[in-house]
Amino acid sequence: MKSKRGRTAIGFPGEIGMLYFAVAAAAAFNLICTGTTEKTDYNGSKSESYTVTYRVDTAARLWCKNDPEACKTPQKMVDINAVTIKFIDTTKDTPDQFFRYVEQVNRESGLHQTLTVGGRGALMRITKQEGHCEPAPFSGFSKTNPKF
C-alpha cells in the first residue's frame, strides 16, 4: 500500500501478521550449550565436558531442557532482561543443610553458568558448569494429551 507521499505504508493485516510472526520467531529458540562441569567435594575435584539443549520462549517466559518429557510442562523463567536469562535461582538454608542452585545464560556473550552448592562444613559439595551457548531453531515444547 502506498501512502500519499509514495512510500510503502504498513497497513495490510498480512504485513502486520508477518511482522508479528517474525518477532515471535525471534523470541522462541533453542540454545545449545557446551562446556565443562567441575565437581568438588571432600574427595577433591574432577572435571568433565557437558552439552545441554534448552528450548526457550522469551515472550512466554517459558523454558525446558534436554528431555522431551520435561518439555511437556515447561517451567517459568526466574528472570529475563536484556543481558541475562535466569532459568533457576533457588536457596534452601536449614540448620542441617545449605543448598543453592543457579542456572543462567548471558544473552550478550553466550556464557552459560550453573552453580550447585550443597551440604554443611566439610561435607560441602560444589558443582559448577561453565560454557558457551549458541542459538538454534526452536524445536517447540512437547505436546501433551490431557485426559480432561
For residues 143 and 145, what is the distance between their CA atoms, to the nearest angstrom? 7
Total number of residues shown for the chain: 148
pLDDT tens, position by position, 98-117: 999 999 999 999 999 999 99
pLDDT tens, position by position, 107-148: 999 999 999 999 887 788 999 999 999 999 999 998 877 677
For residues 125 and 36, what is the distance between their CA atoms, to the nearest angstrom? 17
Sheet strand arrangement including 62-65: 75-76, 62-65, 44-57, 28-41, 125-136, 111-119, 98-106, 84-93, 79-80
Q: What is the pTM of this model?
A: 0.77
Strand extents, DSSP E, the chain: 28-41, 44-57, 62-65, 75-76, 79-80, 84-93, 98-106, 111-119, 125-136
Amino acid identity for residue 41 in this structure: D
Mean pLDDT of 17-29: 55
Is 22 a residue whose pLDDT tops 60? no
CB of 1 closer than 8 Å to CB of 11: yes
